[in-house]
Amino acid sequence: MVEPLDIATPTRTQAILTSYGLRAKKKFGQNFLTDLNIIDRIIDTADLSDDDYVIEIGPGIGGLTEQLARQAKAVLAVEIDPEMVRVLNDTLSPYDNITVIETDVLTVDLKNIIQKQWGQVPAVKIVANLPYYITTPILMQLLQAGLSWDTMVVMMQREVADRLTAPVGTKEYGVLTVMMAYYAQVQLAVKVPASAFNPAPRVDSAVVRLQPKNHPYQVQQPKELFNLVKICFAHRRKSLWNNLLQAFGKDAEVKEKLTSALAEATIEPGIRAERVDLENFYQLFLALKAQNIKFRS
């Protein structure tokens, strides 16, 4: 076993950045985790074993990457910043189970990269410290990429984590909550203060654990279902009925179809979208499709 480098300490992180003449780049949303206790909790949340293949998104200078490599069989680190790639390749060279790829996770075929790197492997685990300004697009990209995965552990802005895990009927519950619930069981795992990073972000963070959901929902185009959810949340203070009328029209035939669909889904027309769970949205979606209501995909 390689002697620990303990990259993710405040002094070691700063020393590495200084030696390469680097600083965190705002355009990439870089904040380097410098708290080994938080990293240990991330590792625990991922429940890693020496048989696991791990995809890490946004490794930075490799503080978390190193600890992943010490626990897992192999780590594929995906980094967009070429300067960070150079640091990773230099600093983590003692580890022969780390591969660093310079690419944008939003545009790359991650499934193809995994197959080229590892061939046919069991379900991977995904660990990510995501740039806060593109957390949702990256999450959706990962969930819709057709990957075989069994756990995602993701660092994100605390506010976004609260929205992902919000109960029905709360002000945080919304479109993002429903979309995530379609794909995964979501759990708030670790609260992370701003002081755990260099530089410290202006907001607190949280680690969220996602596990794939085996559900009965048969939707060829999930975007159609999500567009219905967006319609229902278009004006949060308006009733579901008013939002649906605004989207689909107010003539008598449309009203009749909407009334029938809501009854079929056992949804009261006068309630707001924040009181409707995924199951009811799904039933409403099916009922509207049966009424030949057209959806944007």
Q: Tell me whether residue 58 is annotated as binding.
A: yes
Provide the token pair at 59: 């490794």
Q: Tell me whether residue 79 is annotated as binding.
A: yes
Provide the token pair at 28: 């990439």
Q: Which of 214, 227, 205, 233 is nearest to 41 (CA)?
A: 205
Q: Which of 163, 162, 297 is nearest to 228 (CA)?
A: 297
Q: Judge contact between 198 and 60, C-beta under 8 A.
A: no
Judged on CB neighbours under 10 Å (0-12, 13-18, 19+), 275 is middle
Q: Tell me whether residue 104 is annotated as binding.
A: yes
**Whole-number Cα distances in Å, 104 to 5, 79, 109:** 27, 7, 10
- Bridge partners, residue 77, by sequence: 56, 100
- How far apart CA 18 and CA 24 sit, in angstroms, is 11
- How far apart CA 208 and CA 129 sit, in angstroms, is 11
Q: Known binding site: residues? A: 31, 33, 58, 79, 104, 129
Q: Known binding site for S-adenosyl-L-methionine: residues? A: 31, 33, 58, 79, 104, 129
